[in-house]
Structure 1
Amino acid sequence: MTEEELATWHLYILRCKDGTLYTGITNNLERRFEEHQSNGPRCAKYLRGRQPVTMIYHTSFKNKSLALKAEIKVKKLTASQKKLLASGQLVIHEIADTA
């Protein structure tokens, strides 16, 4: 197995200063959060000018494939459903089975 395959992957949801939500995955949560806060070249285009951002949810997966599957499911949720997920009032089947 490669080092990337052994890495823990994270799904996260950020709340932007304008109240919108952004969902992503990474294998280094702290680094990625700092990149998003920096508004620099590694910041997601969607987040440019929407800082500061607040992390409202994150969960871990044992590989990238599982994280990607969960990300796809979460991105299909409404903003209200994402807020319920962040507060623990909603559980996504894939997330519950793979985290």
Structure 2
Amino acid sequence: MTVEKRPCVYIMANRRNGTIYVGVTSNLPQRAYQHREGLIEGFTKQYGCKLLVWFERHDTMESAILREKQIKAGNRKAKLALIEADNPQWSDLFEDIAQG
């Protein structure tokens, strides 16, 4: 199953150690593109969270939603640790997922 048709939890950021947003989607490339282009009104557009810095694939939307809630319930330090563990440079992962 490709990332495109798979439930994912993801984190967008405006810069390294900056403002972060945790979300869930069934189509990560499309959703990350919407955030990057400012097509979604709300938090990510207001704060310029355009960098996809972390994501985690799930087999079901239910498990993805549970994980999103778990991450959102955690403190900022825990969220930063998730990003740093997989992406210490805070690179934009959009190109990686956009190519499949």
TM-score by shorter chain over 0.5: yes
Corresponding position of 1:34 = 33
Residue type at the aligned position of 2:28: L
Structure 2 counterpart of 1:69, from 63, 66, 70: 66
Is 1:16 the equivalent of 2:50? no
Pick one of 21, 25, 44 that aligns with 1:47.
Answer: 44
List structure 1 segments (4+ residues) > 3 angstroms apart after TM superposition. Answer: none
- The whole-number CA distance in structure 2 between the counterparts of 1:85 and 1:79 is 10
- Give identity over the alignment, percent: 20
Please tell me the residue identity of whatever aligns with 1:24: G
Please, what TM-score do these two structures have when normalized by structure 2?
A: 0.71
Q: Is the contact between residue 9 and residue 55 of structure 2 (CA under 8 Å) also seen in structure 1?
A: yes
Q: What is the Cα deviation at residue 49 of structure 1?
A: 3.2
Change (3 A) 1:64 1:87: same
Q: Which runs of 5+ in 2 are unaligned?
A: 87-100
Identify if the C-alpha distance between structure 1 residues 82 and 44 changes in structure 2 by more than 3 Å, giving closer, same or farther: farther
Aligned residues: 81
RMSD over aligned CA atoms reads 2.0
Consecutive unaligned residues of structure 1, counting only runs of 5 or more, are: 1-6, 90-99
